[in-house]
Amino acid sequence: MLDQTRALGLPLDEARVTRLLGGGGGRYVAPNPGAAQHQSLTGAWWLAEGLLPRRQIDRQGRNQGTRWPLLKWSLLGQPRAIAPESKIHISVRQHQQLRASYNPPNLPAEPHFVAQ
């Protein structure tokens, strides 16, 4: 997106961009498709996963939504569905190539990888 922003001539704070992309040290790290996967569903997020209402399409395309979120325990912790026609960022394929153990269960059978 930064390249698209630059191409449109929109102003960017280049020092901030460099810092946020891990070029200036500190708490930010550079993008790395080979890095270890981050587990974000921890602690209080499990509580939110069970209590917040949601609608989800399962892998077969069936609507799994419910107005009673506590009755849908089978969806807890499940990865969200990705439609077959979805565009998937190229970093997913790069991560798969760099880490043989990385095999997302929700990728379409024939994913459409894109650079942007």
Is residue 56 within 8 Å of residue 75, measured between CB atoms? yes
Write down the mean pLDDT value for the chain.
80
Please say whether the beta carbons of 107 and 82 come within 8 A.
Answer: yes
| Phi, psi for 76 (deg, rounded to 5) | -60, 125
What are the pLDDT digits (tens) for 18-33? 988 888 777 888 888 8
**Tens digits of residue pLDDT in 34-75:** 888 888 888 888 877 777 655 555 545 555 555 554 445 556
Tokens of 53: 């209402």
pLDDT tens-place string over residues 54-65: 555 554 555 555
What is the model's pLDDT at position 65?
A: 54
Q: Residue 10's pLDDT band (boundaries 50, 70, 90)? A: very high
Give the percent of the chain with pLDDT over 90.
27
81 with 56: CB under 8 angstroms? yes
Tokens of 39: 């587990």
pLDDT bin (cut points 50, 70, 90) of residue 114 is: very high
